[in-house]
Every structure is written in C-alpha cells, then in structure tokens.
Amino acid sequence: MRKLYRSRTNRQLAGVIGGIADYTGWDTSLLRILFVLGLIFGFGSLGLVYLIWIFVVPNEEVKG
C-alpha cells in the first residue's frame, strides 16, 4: 500500500505537490501548473488546502 507524504527531494515550497505527484504517478510540473491555474481562476481555497496539508501530511521518511 502506498503512503501519501510530502516529498523531500521533489519540492519547491513544502513538498506537498511533489508528494501528490509521487503518490498518483502524475507529472509534477503538470500538477504545479494546474494548482497555479486553480489559484488564479478563483479556487482560492486551494491555498488553504495547501496550508493544511503542510501540517497534516508527514514528510517522506529518510531511507538509509
């Protein structure tokens, strides 16, 4: 079973979108573009969801 996490390697701000991309298998750049377009065209609640996910979704575990 796959686990949702915030990416440590594929991050721009907090790794939320990088983690979602890893979990879903989608391209990270595509998800970032869709997120920014959603913010611009009136889905401001995406910003609130992003902030909540920073605190709710754990960081990726360090493998070593």
Contact 3, 19 (CB under 8 A): no
Contact 23, 1 (CB under 8 A): no
pTM equals 0.78
pLDDT at 64: 62
pLDDT at 46: 84
pLDDT at 3: 80
For the chain, residues with pLDDT lower than 50 are none
* 6 closest CA partner among 64, 61, 49: 61
pLDDT at 27: 92
pLDDT at 30: 93
pLDDT at 8: 77
Query: For the chain, what are the domain ranges?
Result: 1-64
